[in-house]
Amino acid sequence: MTKLHTRTIGSLTVSSIGLGCMNLSHAYGAPPPAEEGGRLLNRALDLGVTFLDTAALYGGGNNERLLAASVMHRRGEFTLASKCVLDLIDGKRVLDGRPETIAGSLDRSLQRLGTDHIDLYYLHRLDKAVPIEESVGALARAVEAGKIGAIGLSEMSAATIRRAHAVHPVAAIQSEYSPAVRNVEIAVLDACRELGIGFVAFSPVARGLLADGVRDDTYAEGDIRAVMPRFTGANLEHNLKAVARFNALAAGLGITPAQLSLAWVMAQGDDIVPIPGTSNIAHLEEDIGAAAVTLDADTVAQVDAIFVEGAILGHRYTPAMQAQIDTETFPGELEPA
C-alpha cells in the first residue's frame, strides 16, 4: 500500500487527499456496477487514501451499502465519514434536522455500513426550521454514546458554525471549494481557523469543469449538472473560456488540469483536505497524483488571475437546492442570471 502525506482534521489524521464516494452511487448519471465501485474503493485504499466520505443521501443509502460490501473488511485503514439531515425517502429528497430524525438516520447508516462507529458525522445541510443547537445536540449525544467520533457541518455559514461550535466542538466543515468556487473565502475559512476546525473541500475540480471533463452541456440522464446554471447554455460557453486558460497553464506545468486544481486547493492551507470523487480508476490515480505536486506562489497567483470576478457565470445551484445552502454568497451572486 502506498503512503500519502497526512493532514489533520480536528483530532483525525487523514491522507492529504481523500475520496468523495458520491459519484459511485449518485448524481452524475447511471452509477457504475457495484463490482466496479468496489474495485475503485479498494484501489483508493491501495494508493494511500485514508479518508472516505459518504452520506445517507447518496443513492438512498446504496453508497453506504457499497462501502460495507467493498471495504469494511479494511476498516482499520481509513477514516469513515458520513452525513445526516439530507436523505432520500421513497425516492424523494428530504431535509430534516430534528434530533429524533438525526438519531434514526444515524442508526440506519450504522446498519447499512455494518459498523457501530462512524469517525466523522456531518449535518449535511442546515434545516432552517430547526435551531442548529438542537441538531448539534443530537450529534453530541451520539458522541457520548460512542456511535460517532467527531462532528462535522456541510455548506454552513460562519455564523452557524460559531453557534454549533458553542454547543459541541466541531471537527470539520465541508463545503465546495476550487479555483472556480470561492464562497468559503468570504468568512468560513477564517471562522474555521479561528476555532481550530479543519476544512474538507468537496468538488475540488468544480464538478469536472477543472478536470477537462466538461466541454459542452450534453450530459447523461440523471446528471445534476444538466440543471445547474453555470454548466449549461451561454453561461457554460463563457465559463469554458476561463477553463481553456486554466488547461493551458496545467499543460505548461506538465500536469493535468485536475492535478492543478487539487494542488491549488491544498496550497490554500495545511488544514484543508480535498475529497475529489470519480467512478473511473484512471481518474482516481490522476487525482491522487496531485499529492506529489507543490505549486509555487507565482503559479497560485496565475490560477487566481484566471478566475477573477466574472470569469465564471451562473449560480452554483438551482433555486430549490440553493434554499438549503447556508454558506455565504458574493454580492449579486443570487441575482437572476
Residue-level pLDDT at 86? 96
Q: Where are the alpha helices (DSSP H) in 50-155?
A: 62-70, 99-113, 132-144
Residue-level pLDDT at 202? 98
Q: Round to whole Å and give the CA distance between 213 and 183.
A: 22
Global pTM value: 0.97
Residue-level pLDDT at 13? 98
Task: Catalytic residue, from 28, 58, 121, 177: name it.
Answer: 58
Q: Is 222 left (phi over 0), alpha (psi -120 to 50) or beta?
A: left
Active site residue 121: no
The residue extents of the domains of the chain are: 6-209+269-293
Binned average pLDDT, 10 residues per bin, the chain of 337 residues: 92 97 94 97 98 97 98 98 92 94 97 98 98 98 98 98 98 98 98 98 98 96 95 98 98 98 98 98 98 98 96 94 94 79
Q: Round to whole Å and give the CA distance between 50 and 44.
A: 8
- The greatest distance separating any two alpha carbons of the chain, rounded to the nearest whole angstrom, comes to 54
Residue-level pLDDT at 89? 82
DSSP bridge pairs for 87: 94
Residue-level pLDDT at 337? 57
Residue pair 274/265 in contact (Cβ under 8 Å)? The answer is: yes
Element (H, E) at 158: helix 158-167
Three-state DSSP at 101 gives helix
Residue 134 exposure: Cα atoms within 13 Å on the Cβ side:
14
- Fold for domain 6-209+269-293? TIM Barrel (3.20.20)
